[in-house]
Structure 1
Amino acid sequence: MSRWNPERDFDVDRFKGDNRLTFVPQWSDEAKDWWREHIFEPHGLYPDEFADVLTKSVHGDRSVTYFGISPESDSFVVKVVGSLGDPGEAWWTERGLDLRGKAFHAREMVIPERSQGQGIGRHLMGDLFDMALRMRIERIDIEAQDIGRYAWIRAGFLPDNTGWRYRLRPEIRDRLAKARSSLSDENYRYYEAALDSDDPKIVREIASWEEPVPSRERTSGGEAILRPLGRVLLLEILADWCGSFDLRDPTSLEIYENYARRTLQR
C-alpha cells in the first residue's frame, strides 16, 4: 500500500491515462488540482494507486476507469475491472466517493457466476471498508439486491427508515404468513410482534432467525429444502432496499468483522 510521503512530488503525467487507466472525459487541470489537494496530499495516492488499494484483496490484472469527477461537489466515481485468470472471466466493481458528505457509495459489484461463493465480493467490500476508515469516511451507502438483501444485513448494513417500513416490512410479513404452518403458535406470535418495530435495526434480529422452514428451493425430487427463517424472509421477497453502514458505530464494525472474518484497518 502506498504511504504518504511529504517529499513526494506531484506528477501530473500520472493523469495521462493508458491501457490500464482511463479518465472519461479526460480530466481538466481543475480536476487534477482537486485530486492533489483532497487525495494525494492527505493520502499519498495517485488514481491508479487509489484503485489498487480499493481492491487490494483480489489479485490479478485490472483496468481502472474514472468518470463523473466533480470538483464542485467533491465527488467522483471509479470502476475497477479485474481478471480472474480464465479468458472472459472478470469481476468488476463501481464505487462513488462523496467527500463533502463523508460517504462512499458502493454502487455496483459483479462477480461471474462460476466464481461466486469464493468470498471475492466479501473481500472487495472489506477493501472498501479499509479505504473508508483510512480516509475518515463516516458511512457506506448501498442498494441491496438479490443475495445482498440478506448478506449485507448480516454484514452490518441497515435499510433506511422508508425502505424498512414501506418496502421490506410488508413483504416480510407476507412471506412469514406463508411459513405459518411450519411454525409453532408461540414462535409465530413472537416473529409477528418483532415486525411491529419501526426501528430498521430489527432486521439484524430477523436475519439471525435460524428456525428451519421450507424454502422455494427444491431437491431433484421436487421436495422443498429447509432453510433458516431469516434467510427465507429476506431472500424470498421482491423488495430491494437502500441503506447504509455507519462507520462511526462500534457495534456495526464488530458485526462486520465477525461476518467477514476480517480485522479492519481502523
Structure 2
Amino acid sequence: PLGRAKKSLGQKPELGDTGDLFLCIAALVATHLPLACVFENVPSFASSLAGQTLAHHLRQLGYHVTQTILDPHKAWAEPQDRRRWLMVATLFPGFTLQPPNTPFGNDLSEILDPPSERDRAEAERIAGSIAALRRHRERHRALGHGFGFTTITAQSSRVPTIVRSYHKINIGPFVETAFGPRLLRKHEVEKLMGCTIDCEHYATAIEILGQGVQTRVFSDVLTQLAAFLHGARGSTPAPIFFKDRRGHRRA
C-alpha cells in the first residue's frame, strides 16, 4: 500500500496510520451515496496523491467537488492560526463556501487565565524542559538553522497551531508568566478550539483537541452546507449548535 511504501522511505503517511484510509472512505461514499460529504486535513493534503485520488473518485461518482484552504485567524475571527484544507462534495451543483472574511481583532485576555500563584508551580514543573529547548535553540542558531518555540501572553493577537503532541513540551505555544513559561491549561485550549472534552487526563484531552477541528469554524461550514441542501431539496435543515468562547450555546 501507498502508506507503507512511504513509511519505508522514512516519509509520513498521507492519511491515517497506514496511508490508505482514504480508500475506505471512498468505498463508504460509493456504497451509501450521501447528499454531501465534508473532508478536512492539513493544507498539503490537497496536492497529495491521496487527496487528488479522493477528489477524482468523488467526481467519478457524480459529486460536485469544491476545495479551499480555511484560514481561521484571517477569515473567521479565530485566535488560532490553524489552517486546514477543506473539501466539500455534493450531489447537487452550486455549493460555494462563503467565509465571513473577518480577521481576529482581539487579544487573548478572555481566553487565558489571569496571573495567579498557580503559575509558579506550573512554570517550575516544566522549567527543565524549557531550559533544554532553549539550549537546543541556541545550538541550531549556531548552525544557521531555524528551530525555535513560541510563547504567548494575554496581549497576544495570534495563537500558533496547537499540535496533538503539545503536552510533550516541544514547540509551544507556552504562556509567559512572571515565573517562566507554562503550558496552556485544558480549559484554555478548549476555548481556543470551541468545544469541551469530557476527559480529565491532560495528555489525552490535548491529543484529542490537537487532532480535532475548530468547532466554531466548522459549525459555520456545516450551517452553510445545510442551507444549500435545504434550497436544493426543499427541506428544512436542523439547526447546528455550538459553544462560543464564553461557553454560551449558540446556533
Same fold (TM over 0.5): no
Q: Which has the higher strand share?
A: 1
Question: TM class, shorter-chain normalised?
Answer: under 0.3
TM-score, normalisation: structure 1: 0.24
Report which structure shows greater RCO (CA 8 Å, sep ≥6).
1
